[in-house]
Structure 1
Amino acid sequence: MSSLKEDKNKLREEYKRRRDTFVSQMDAASRGLAFRRPPSPLANLFAQCDVIALYSAYGSEAPTASLIEYLAEMGKIIAFPVVMGSEPLEFRAVSNIDLLDVGYQIILEPPSTCDSVTPDLIVTPLTAFDRSLRRLGQGGGHYDRTFQKYPDAKRMGLAWSVQEAAEIPFEPHDITLHGIVTERELIE
Structure 2
Amino acid sequence: MTKLSDEKKMLRQEYRRRRDAFYRQLDPATKGLAFRRPPSPLAKLIEQSEIIALYSAAGSEAPTARLIEYLIESGKIICLPAMTTGSTMQFRQVDTLDLLESGYRDIAEPGIDCPVVKPDLIIAPLVAFDRSLGRLGQGGGHYDRAFENHPQATRVGLAWSIQEADHIPMQAHDFGLHMIVTEAEIIQKVDMTI
Q: TM-score range by the shorter chain?
A: over 0.9
Distance 1:136 1:86, change over 3 A: farther
Amino acid in the other structure paired with 1:102: S
Does the 8 Å contact 1:88/1:149 carry over to 2? no
What TM-score, normalized to structure 2? 0.95
Query: Any runs of at least 4 consecutive aligned residues in structure 1 with deviations exceeding 3 A, and if so which?
Result: 85-88
Whole-Å Cα distance in 2 between the matches of residues 61 and 47 of structure 1?
24
Aligned-partner SS, 2:124: strand
Whole-Å Cα distance in 1 between the matches of residues 45 and 30 of structure 2?
25
Offset at residue 85 of structure 1 (A): 5.1
Does the 8 Å contact 1:55/1:124 carry over to 2? yes
Amino acid in the other structure paired with 2:111: P
Whole-Å Cα distance in 1 between the matches of residues 162 and 101 of structure 2?
30
**Which 5+ residue runs of structure 2 have no aligned equivalent?**
189-194
**Which 5+ residue runs of structure 1 have no aligned equivalent?**
none
Aligned-partner SS, 1:169: coil
Offset at residue 84 of structure 1 (A): 2.5
Aligned-partner SS, 1:45: helix
Matched, 1:106 2:106: yes
Does the 8 Å contact 2:72/2:96 carry over to 1? no
Q: 2:40 matched to which residue of 1?
A: 40
Whole-Å Cα distance in 2 between the matches of residues 12 and 186 of structure 1?
22
Matched, 1:142 2:149: no
Distance 1:85 1:176, change over 3 A: farther
Amino acid in the other structure paired with 2:92: R
Amino acid in the other structure paired with 2:24: S
Aligned residues: 188
Amino acid in the other structure paired with 2:40: S
Amino acid in the other structure paired with 1:83: M
Does the 8 Å contact 2:157/2:177 carry over to 1? yes
Whole-Å Cα distance in 2 between the matches of residues 125 and 134 of structure 1?
13
Offset at residue 88 of structure 1 (A): 4.0
Q: 1:154 matched to which residue of 2?
A: 154
What TM-score, normalized to structure 1? 0.97
Distance 1:34 1:180, change over 3 A: same
